[in-house]
Structure 1
Amino acid sequence: MKNLTKLFVAAALLAGSTAYAQTKNAVVDNIVKEGTDNSQLEKLAHELFDGVGPRLVGTPQYDKAGKWALDKYKGWGITAKEEKWGQWRGWERGISHIDMVYPRVKSLEGTQLAWSPGMKKAVTAELVILPELADSVAFQKWLPAVKGKFVMISMNQPTGRPDDNWKEFALTGSFDKMKAARTEQTAAWRKRISNTGLNNRTLPVALEKAGAAGIITSNWSAGFGVDKIFSAYTKVVPTVDIALEDYGTLYRLTESGNKPRITIQTESKELGVVPTFNVIGEIKGTEKPNEYVMLSAHFDSWDGGTGATDNGTGTITMMEAMRILKKAYPKPKRTILVGHWASEEQGLNGSRAFVEDHPEIVANLQALFNQDNGTGRIVNISGQGYEKAGEFISRWLEAVPDTIRHQIKTSFPGTPGGGGSDFASFVAVGAPGFSLGSNSWSYGNYTWHTNRDTYDKLVFDDVRSNAILTAILIYMASEDPAKFPRDKAALPVSSNGQPAKWPEPVKANRRGGLD
């Protein structure tokens, strides 16, 4: 085993030295060497994901994560601060118990949704399914029937197998039959919701007001064992997502007249109004301290898992890149900033607040690189609609070892991103923000906003590559004697035949969940 371990280490060092040998720039060589031989990514990931956990804005865990990040930066000799920009509804997740108690006993897999109200004691009640109703009048007549019941408001999925599993094993006719049935069932369920005269946000509130004991959902993420975990809209009774497998059992038992009962106790806490903040780190520039290059990733997460790939990987990539830069490039030409943004998940609020609060940085921004779509190696960079982006980014990429650069596809000038992640906050005001897009690793189904977004999903070789790439891009952008021009390219014609428009800035929500 020891010899095998030595072999793996030697192979890794050889791979690193190969990349190292392909460069002709001492700073780039040192970036690659530091990122390869002395990576801190596993340690950062363990401390943040396993130790601190998820980082839902407004929670004590987000606050704890901020203090952790400041401590790491201080240990690396990097100036960092918490920059407060708003207030949020404070909330803390507690222990949840969800059990079927009739017609048999079974512990159920489920998750209280974020900001769901806590319960003073366990509640046992029968289940009822939102029925097919002709219209909102019929819904109002039915509504008293929910009193004292847990109400199921999600469709029962016809299969818990992802489509690629069907594709591999099913007869073509079986797969087509299932898809057709699912499409029909999905359309019928949407009509069932719309016939109430309400939507997915307002329906739980109406049920709560009518005396429901709680709201039961199942937001399947189209993969084995994964559900999307978002926020509750109820204020008094709990909203709980139950995994597809258990939700289906409860649904079928209810539908067949067995009158199943479940017991729920969720122990969350309301914490009142709490401040929220971005974490901003800085390595001061020597020649052009009032011009800036930025690393960017959102710090917050949903809390069904631990926010490992959304956006823990982006967070530790930028932290590791800053650590590497401090060692390999301690006296940058331009000031290097890193932004760890709060409340991206509720609408890019932290980065939008930063853009509003720091016009002097926005006006003198050379480039910002943001990473936020999973653990995969970076494979695409768009010019975001800037006419000269190709000239600059291509020049900066030339310094990147071919072992990393060869996998990256570029699109210049590209089109400006109107949302999706924090780079868009900068693009909207005409500042050069760029997204470092990674390959999938089944991110959309298995880890994006799910209960399975945890440490074990990380691919550290890919994240190491991303940290090295980011550090080199920041170094090259800092050193470039030319300032990035903000000329906008002509945008392509949109689907309605009109020229596409540059995205408009959107105001940050600085009072989340409080108004």
Structure 2
Amino acid sequence: MKRSILLPFLLSVTVVIAQKPSIDKDAVVDAIVTEATQNSQLEVLGHELLDGIGPRLVGTPEMKQAGDWAIEKYKSWGIAAHSEKWGEWRGWQRGPAHFEMTYPRVKSLEGMQLAWSPGTNGKTVSTEVIILPAAANGAEFEKWLSTVKGKFVMISLLQPTGRPDKNWEEFGIKESVAKMNKDRDSLFTEWTERISKTGYTSRTLPVALENAGALGVITNNWSKAVGADKIFGAYTKQVPTIDLSLEDYGLVYRLAQSGKKPKMNMTVESKMLPPAPTFNIIAEIKGVEKPDEYVILSAHFDSWDGATGATDNGTGTLTMMEAARILKKVYPNPKRTILVGHWGSEEQGLNGSRAFVEDHPEIVANIQAVFNQDNGTGRVTSLQGMGFLHSYNYLSRWLSKVPQDVRKYVETSFPGQPGTGGSDFASFVMAGAPAFSLSSLSWDYGTITWHTNRDTYDKIVFDDLRNNAILTTAVMAYAASEDPEKASREQVVLPVDPSTGKPREWPKPVAPTRRGDVRKRYKFQVAGFKFYRITIHYWN
């Protein structure tokens, strides 16, 4: 029977690992550091994956190509690897897209079709652009819907500024900054009400427009960084949904608003394909003493496809691959089996890791530790115990193996609370397995690269990745594998739920979606950022 201990005052204690160098030299650690610094393959791997193959949207041929590449790369290092199918997803492939304003003047426009957007069937569609009206109620909006036939419709807020907040804070006078913030909040509220009064939601509105005969839906999802937009998925099934850049969206919107009746050309090439297999890539370095106990290096393999998914989660993928390569070279016979899990369809709800947890209870029951990385290119700066009562003992022990000049950046917090979302570590935590998020320095991840059209190779900070390949991945995995003790799974008692007066329960595992079609977004919050993920409806 599992025993839990109630901590009545504090659930989390912050601990900074002592900075004293280890007295005992460890030849394996020294070899890891030497290989990571003198023979790094990170740049080459990044170029091959991100430049050569590109984004890895679930259901696309590029996701399959990337999986094949990873398997062959592992095999070239002498590491066994395979693709493990766990479901199917809507098949689709992005093609070229071109947008031009043709009236009242000619201008090429910067834009991108959203994921899973229909194309224009090989044609260039040219028509007037109109704005979603401020209807008083649903009946008035339904009357307006009859006017959208044969037109493009803009359905996003016109941003009052294209400058990021840091720019305003550095150069704006206090009164200007306050006015801008007030105006922006007011415009956001007004636009939210505008959509609400249509009687539709942000998910159902595009479908209503295409059903009424609109030839395309135009959006802007600015990330608050110059030139960066969030690129998610389309809800339309017959006509294109596109994102125009902040600057060009504003231009066309203002012309329409002032009665100039702007016109646009739109050419969108994309292919609807048959349902595609969804899969995880699993690599394995077999343990020699305790082969049925597991240390798992974890990173999701899929990405959104506004760019190449370089920092979400190309960087986590590269870090785990590089760590596995190093370990195979300098620590080829680990005590415990080391697995590398490259999960599919994380962006649609942690589906790949949830499927692995559901399909492999024998592995989950014998996990020593999972180390997951999925929040950008920065060096790891935070590690918390995820609600495992004795995590301080073993995480501190393993972290002490890491060279001081690498671990000095890492602040730890114990015992912490169990993660329920955000990335794939949560799939394992919810199943009661010791799994930990290696949280990274921001590098303005939330605005510049997270799900944006600017998440590209040039945003990677390879010095930080080398730091992470040494820390996580190689040294922490080595230490966890060699530890004579099995990591404790004993859990803290969670805080009291005010609605019941009893401690909250440990979160339960969530089943994966194994046959998916993207439909709508849901909101969650991590580290102060409000993010949006995807939930799904099932195919019939």
Q: Which band: TM-score by shorter chain?
A: over 0.9
1:275 aligns with 277
Higher share in strand: 2
SS in 2 for 1:127: strand
1:309 aligns with 311
SS in 2 for 1:231: coil
Q: Kindly provide the amino acid, as one letter, of the partner of residue 408 in structure 2.
A: H
Report Cα offsets for 1:490-515 as digits up to 9, x if no partner.
Answer: 22346877644322211111111161
Matches within 5 A, 1:90-101: 90-101=91-102
Matched, 1:474 2:509: no
2:495 aligns with 492
2:513 aligns with 509
SS in 1 for 2:278: strand
Determine if contact 1:23/1:29 at 8 Å carries over to the other structure: no
Matches within 5 A, 1:423-502: 423-470=425-472, 471-493=474-496, 499-502=503-506
Deviation at 1:123, TM superposition (A): 0.6
Determine if contact 1:22/1:401 at 8 Å carries over to the other structure: no
1:222 aligns with 224
Q: Distance in 1 between matches of 2:321 and 2:502?
A: 42
Do the aligned partners of residues 30 and 456 (structure 1) sit closer, same or farther apart at CA in structure 2, a change above 3 Å counting? Answer: same
Q: Distance in 2 between matches of 1:429 and 1:255?
A: 53
Determine if contact 1:23/1:399 at 8 Å carries over to the other structure: no
Q: Distance in 2 between matches of 1:476 and 1:77?
A: 22
Deviation at 1:28, TM superposition (A): 0.8
SS in 1 for 2:508: coil
Q: Distance in 1 between matches of 2:22 and 2:466?
A: 18
Q: Distance in 2 between matches of 1:194 and 1:289?
A: 56
Q: Kindly provide the amino acid, as one letter, of the partner of residue 509 in structure 2.
A: P
1:76 aligns with 77
Do the aligned partners of residues 495 and 243 (structure 1) sit closer, same or farther apart at CA in structure 2, a change above 3 Å counting? Answer: farther
Moved more, 365-374 or 478-487: 478-487
SS in 1 for 2:146: helix
Matched, 1:143 2:145: yes
2:167 aligns with 165
Deviation at 1:249, TM superposition (A): 0.4
Matches within 5 A, 1:286-365: 286-365=288-367
SS in 2 for 1:185: helix
Report Cα offsets for 1:282-311 as digits up to 9, x if no partner.
Answer: 000000001100000000000001000000
Report Cα offsets for 1:141-200 as digits up to 9, x if no partner.
Answer: 111111111110000000000000000001110010011000000000000011112111
Q: Distance in 2 between matches of 1:290 and 1:402?
A: 32
Deviation at 1:365, TM superposition (A): 0.5
1:389 aligns with 391
SS in 2 for 1:100: strand
- Long gaps (5+) in structure 1: 1-18
Q: Kindly provide the amino acid, as one letter, of the partner of residue 377 in structure 2.
A: T
Q: Distance in 2 between matches of 1:390 and 1:185?
A: 47
Q: Distance in 2 between matches of 1:59 and 1:21?
A: 48
1:3 aligns with none
1:156 aligns with 158
Deviation at 1:21, TM superposition (A): 9.5
Report Cα offsets for 1:73-132 as digits up to 9, x if no partner.
Answer: 011000000001101111000010111011111110001000001211111011111111
Determine if contact 2:22/2:401 at 8 Å carries over to the other structure: no
1:178 aligns with 180
Q: Kindly provide the amino acid, as one letter, of the partner of residue 443 in structure 1.
A: Y
TM-score (structure 1 length as normaliser)? 0.95
Q: State the number of aligned residues.
A: 497
Matched, 1:377 2:379: yes
Q: Distance in 2 between matches of 1:307 and 1:276?
A: 18
Report Cα offsets for 1:207-232 as digits up to 9, x if no partner.
Answer: 11111111000000001010000000
Do the aligned partners of residues 361 and 115 (structure 1) sit closer, same or farther apart at CA in structure 2, a change above 3 Å counting? Answer: same
- Long gaps (5+) in structure 2: 1-19, 518-537
2:11 aligns with none
1:47 aligns with 48
Determine if contact 1:20/1:29 at 8 Å carries over to the other structure: no
Q: Kindly provide the amino acid, as one letter, of the partner of residue 352 in structure 2.
A: G
Report Cα offsets for 1:398-443 as digits up to 9, x if no partner.
Answer: 1001101111011110011110000000011111111000010000
Determine if contact 1:384/1:415 at 8 Å carries over to the other structure: yes
Q: Kindly provide the amino acid, as one letter, of the partner of residue 503 in structure 1.
A: P
Report Cα offsets for 1:325-353 as digits up to 9, x if no partner.
Answer: 00111000000000000000000000000
Which residue of the other structure, out of 125, 128, 131, is the alignment partner of 1:126?
128
SS in 1 for 2:326: helix
Q: Distance in 1 between matches of 2:340 and 2:170?
A: 44
Q: Distance in 1 between matches of 2:323 and 2:504?
A: 35
Matched, 1:202 2:185: no
Q: Distance in 2 between matches of 1:200 and 1:22?
A: 59
How high is the sequence identity, in percent, across the aligned residues?
65
SS in 1 for 2:100: strand
TM-score (structure 2 length as normaliser)? 0.90
SS in 1 for 2:347: coil
SS in 1 for 2:346: coil
SS in 2 for 1:267: strand
Deviation at 1:23, TM superposition (A): 6.4
Q: Distance in 2 between matches of 1:502 and 1:151?
A: 46
SS in 1 for 2:303: coil
Which residue of the other structure, out of 241, 244, 263, is the alignment partner of 1:242?
244
Q: Distance in 1 between matches of 2:26 and 2:460?
A: 30
Q: Kindly provide the amino acid, as one letter, of the partner of residue 511 in structure 1.
A: R
Q: Kindly provide the amino acid, as one letter, of the partner of residue 133 in structure 1.
A: A
Q: Distance in 1 between matches of 2:81 and 2:376?
A: 25
Q: Kindly provide the amino acid, as one letter, of the partner of residue 200 in structure 1.
A: S
Q: Kindly provide the amino acid, as one letter, of the partner of residue 479 in structure 2.
A: M
Determine if contact 1:109/1:246 at 8 Å carries over to the other structure: yes
1:6 aligns with none
Q: Distance in 2 between matches of 1:414 and 1:275?
A: 37
Determine if contact 1:153/1:216 at 8 Å carries over to the other structure: yes
Q: Distance in 2 between matches of 1:498 and 1:252?
A: 55
SS in 2 for 1:221: strand
Deviation at 1:245, TM superposition (A): 0.2
Determine if contact 2:22/2:400 at 8 Å carries over to the other structure: no
Q: Kindly provide the amino acid, as one letter, of the partner of residue 322 in structure 1.
A: A
Q: Distance in 1 between matches of 2:393 and 2:90?
A: 45
Matches within 5 A, 1:247-262: 247-262=249-264
Matched, 1:87 2:84: no
Higher share in helix: 1
Q: Distance in 2 between matches of 1:464 and 1:372?
A: 15
Q: Kindly provide the amino acid, as one letter, of the partner of residue 58 in structure 1.
A: G
